[in-house]
Amino acid sequence: MPEVKSIFREVLPKQGQLSMEDVPTMVLCKPKLLPLKSVTLEKLEKMQMEAQEAVKQQELAMKEQLQ
């Protein structure tokens, strides 16, 4: 495989100090509180409960009409 020459040269200072600081540190952030149930799931459960109640009321009304 042929060696690829880069157009950039590495330049090091002739005077002074050359230092490099690359120390990975952990960054702590606030914990994010997630709801146990999403808003959409709560709405769906509420709609389902209302539908079940409506069905029960209809069944009771039908039983009363038959008696």
Q: What is the pLDDT of residue 45?
A: 95
Token couple for 52: 């079940």
Q: What is the pLDDT of residue 4?
A: 62
Report, as an integer, the average pLDDT of 27-53: 90
pTM score, two decimals? 0.45
pLDDT of residue 18 exceeding 80, the answer is: no
Q: What is the pLDDT of residue 3?
A: 64
Q: What is the pLDDT of residue 12?
A: 74
55 within 8 A of 47, measured Cβ to Cβ? no
Q: Where in the chain are the domains?
A: 36-67
Token couple for 18: 């050359």
Report, as an integer, the average pLDDT of 12-17: 75
